[in-house]
Chains A and B, each alone.
Chain A
Amino acid sequence: MTFSAFLFQALNGLSTASGLFFIAVGLSLIFGVTRIINIAHGSLYMLGTYIAYSFATKIGGVFGFWGGIVATALIVGVIGALIEILLLRRIYRAPELFQLLATFALVLVFNDMALWIWGPEDLLGPRAPGLRGSIEVLGRRLPEYDLFLALIGPAVLLILHFALAKTRFGRLIRAATQDREMVGALGVNQAILFTSVFALGAALAGLGGALQVAREPANLATDLVAIGDAFVVVVVGGMGSISGAYLAAVIIAEVKALCIGIGVVDFGFITVNFSKFTLVAEFLVMAAVLIARPYGLLGKPQGAVRSIAEPEEPIRPATPMLKMLAVIVLAGLMGLPLLAQTQPYLLILGIDVLIAVIFATSLHFIMGPGGMHSFGHAAYFGLGAYGAALLVKWLAVPMGIAIAAAPLVALAGALLFGWFAVRLSGVYLAMLTLAFAQIVWAAVFQWEGFTGGSNGVIGVWPPPPFDKAWVYFVLTLLLTVIAVLLLRRFLFAPFGYAMRAGRDSPLRAEAIGIDVKRVHWLAFAIAGGICGIGGGLFAFAKGSISPETISVGRSIDGLVMVLLGGIQTLTGPIVGGSLYAILQDTVMRQTEYWRALLGIIILVLVLAFPQGIVGAFAALWRKRGGGP
């Protein structure tokens, strides 16, 4: 690559950086003040592009385009304010996980809303009036609009910086970021402050999305791609730092631009297409930053967040009655193949349910006893599924070996990602795991030659005798029982005690000689490995695997399963997983807008039981036992 081509790509990267900055900075501001990670921030960005598209095409002209961009920012700001007032305000005291889930539910609802209003096609807006041309830079033609985008990011950074430093609103934001309760005790109405910060953050995301209208098509997948990128930017730049957000946005965008700029390189012995490695490069940057500066480039270590939730009850071994019940359920399941003659679909559903149980119990293992809220458990499911499927595709290994390899592939991935993840906690961990899952998904999606890209891997059918549904069902049942018992064994071993000690009181656990990070790392890896079994089984059960089945949606499915069943018990995820799989099979298939339906179900759950379902019952019980 020549020097001029390099500079050209660098300029291009700056215009991408502005877009990243707009999402990340809003996310960061909102988190600082409200302590809520707004996963729906990517959706606001996406809505921005769609709304601006409508303005630019329906009204058109200079006013429709530029006026539309401003109006879009305002509209999205109002949407943000409404989200805060109608939803978040009710759940500020709820457990973190619920808040994350609630904002994710919004992602689902907004996505289907966009589908309903604008349809599934990509929509590319008109070119920007006044900036249609291009200027010559170093012998290449650079669109004027890209240059404008490259400049508007730093301009907004300066304005924000000035506003935070010099205005009372800015001072209030900075003060509330540190201690919002004290700000309230000094006479500041937090409700108004929170709403306005949320509106500001949303407006910035909307502006960022709207500005893309002349550059990238509005697309329904933008929401999760954008939030994944924003998470990486925020983790790299440091939570709460607006300059950090811009710096990180520039670094990430430049690294990506560089990868695309390098393109295909022939090393003589191997030809590498670097433009396929944009996401891997993003990951490597994040990894490097996290090793050197765990709180991001310009971030500061966060004080320990005071936990407002009640301490969890210790996990108790199952009572004899529960064990008996388990045996009865198991016996019933063993009898299911007998029904295969009359109800063949029942076995297919049974296999789905069992795979969901493996998925949910392995996630619960790190979420409940481990206290690590992984928002990217689908990554390990996907690694298991693709590991098995690709072994069949490329090496034609027998099913037995492929299914045995699935957990090993997932384990390897979990060991790698877990090493980074356990260095963080709380929402940071959730963000990082989600970003990892996005990377696995994107790697699968981008690496077409190896993984089949969006087509996935097909023809992964089990050989006889497993091609009979009932035989495969029995195999699945056997592996599920082994997986669940294995997880249970870990929990009641000293390892499990150490893991819970590390969750409840990391400092004290370290003081008695437990290497908390190491224990949690191993727990993360174990959960990932076990989840891989489910992935392997899934690939053979469906005969294929595609990127869609391992997308973020599946990670969230897992969270809903665990929450449905209740996080405090070991039977919870088994019940929750089964229930959810059955629900998904029966209710969700009834409508095209199942995402919105699922989102609404989550929202209802969260609003009706803001302390968690088990927490709600506990509170009820306390009320009756005396006290206020």
Chain B
Amino acid sequence: MSDTMLSVENLSAWYGAARILYDLNFNVGRGEVVALMGRNGAGKSTTMKTIMGLIAERQGAVKFNGHDISRLKPFEIARLGLGFTPEDRRIFVDLTVTENLDIGRQAPRSFPDGTPAPSWTPEKLFKLFPNLGEMPDRLGNRMSGGEQQMLTVARTLMGNPLLVLLDEPSEGVAPLIVEQMANTIIELKKEGLSILLSEQNIHFARLVSDRVYVLEKGQIHWQGSMMDLAGNLEVQRAYLTV
């Protein structure tokens, strides 16, 4: 792994009195797709929200391209080039597809070494997600779950991120869309984006990920390459199968 883009050190988080995360340590390199895997309630989404600055009660350091972002506000984090697509999608249902994309719009940016990051326009995104291109004026609440999922990803890409936190993109969408989502991730990786993916579905994760961290009850229990996890039925049985 060449340059580390995102590194998380001893990250812990609480919801009120309940501790959710326990001293997590992991990192994502440039151009890498890293999967956080684990069952429902393992702490995957909380990890992403904490990185994004959405959980106030937290400890530990988060570094993004060398910046300490653990005390920044969500909008400041987003403006450094960290994109976030939440699990529950949270698209703006009273806005059209185009308007949703506009909310996510940010200026183009470059990687720390000066190479320009992939820059996105609605036209380019409509090529990536042809379904969206067919309904630019549709309101968010008139879209299917899969279409909403695509819109969430597209909206985040409008911010021209360097790294995307992709929270369970395969959840609750039709198999055809899952496949399309996997292709999209591979496409994004080719463009040079780094991705931290949270996923319970190993079949999906193995299509796209390079490395894996396995979470259970807010702790990392296993880490390694995707290849190793695919061959390790014991870990899969212990932490992934339902």
- In the complex, B87 has a CB within 8 A of chain A: no
Are A184 and B103 in contact, CB atoms less than 8 angstroms apart?
no
Number of interface residues of A (CB under 8 A): 22
Are B54 and A185 in contact, CB atoms less than 8 angstroms apart?
yes
B16, B93, B103, most chain A CB atoms within 10 A? B103
Are A174 and B75 in contact, CB atoms less than 8 angstroms apart?
no
A195 to chain B: closest CB distance in Å?
A: 14
Do A628 and B14 contact each other (CB < 8 Å), given the known contacts A184-B75, A186-B104?
Answer: yes
A426 to chain B: closest CB distance in Å?
A: 21
Surface stretch bound by B, among A23-31, A175-183, A434-442, A598-606: A175-183
Are A627 and B57 in contact, CB atoms less than 8 angstroms apart?
yes
- In the complex, B90 has a CB within 8 A of chain A: yes
- In the complex, B86 has a CB within 8 A of chain A: yes
- In the complex, B153 has a CB within 8 A of chain A: no
- In the complex, B95 has a CB within 8 A of chain A: yes
Are A189 and B75 in contact, CB atoms less than 8 angstroms apart?
yes
- In the complex, A171 has a CB within 8 A of chain B: yes
Number of interface residues of B (CB under 8 A): 32
- In the complex, A90 has a CB within 8 A of chain B: no
Residues in A with CB closer than 8 Å to B74 are 181, 184-185
B50 to chain A: closest CB distance in Å?
A: 11
Residues in A with CB closer than 8 Å to B100 are 175
Which of A177, A184, A189, A627 makes the CB contact (< 8 A) with B14? Answer: A627
B136 to chain A: closest CB distance in Å?
A: 14
Q: Scan A557-577; emit 1 where CB is below 8 A from any B CB, else 0.
A: 000000000000000000000
Task: Output the nearest chain B residue to A179 by Cβ-Cβ distance.
Answer: B90
Task: Output the nearest chain A residue to B58 by Cβ-Cβ distance.
Answer: A628
Residues in B with CB closer than 8 Å to A182 are 86, 90, 92
B13 to chain A: closest CB distance in Å?
A: 9
B104 to chain A: closest CB distance in Å?
A: 5
Residues in B with CB closer than 8 Å to A174 are 92, 94-95, 99
Are B52 and A185 in contact, CB atoms less than 8 angstroms apart?
yes
Do A187 and B14 contact each other (CB < 8 Å), given the known contacts A182-B90, A627-B19?
Answer: no
Are A628 and B57 in contact, CB atoms less than 8 angstroms apart?
yes
- In the complex, B67 has a CB within 8 A of chain A: no
- In the complex, B78 has a CB within 8 A of chain A: yes
Which of B77, B79, B103, B106 makes the CB contact (< 8 A) with A175? Answer: B103
Q: Scan A146-173; emit 1 where CB is below 8 A from any B CB, else 0.
A: 0000000000000000000000100110
Are A171 and B78 in contact, CB atoms less than 8 angstroms apart?
no
- In the complex, A121 has a CB within 8 A of chain B: no
CA distance A175 to B58 in the complex (A): 27
- In the complex, B17 has a CB within 8 A of chain A: yes
Q: Scan A617-628; emit 1 where CB is below 8 A from any B CB, else 0.
A: 000001000011
Q: List 21 A-B contacts (CB under 8 A).
A: A168-B102, A171-B95, A175-B95, A175-B99, A177-B94, A178-B92, A181-B74, A182-B92, A184-B75, A185-B77, A185-B78, A185-B86, A186-B75, A186-B78, A187-B104, A188-B103, A190-B73, A310-B16, A627-B17, A627-B19, A628-B59
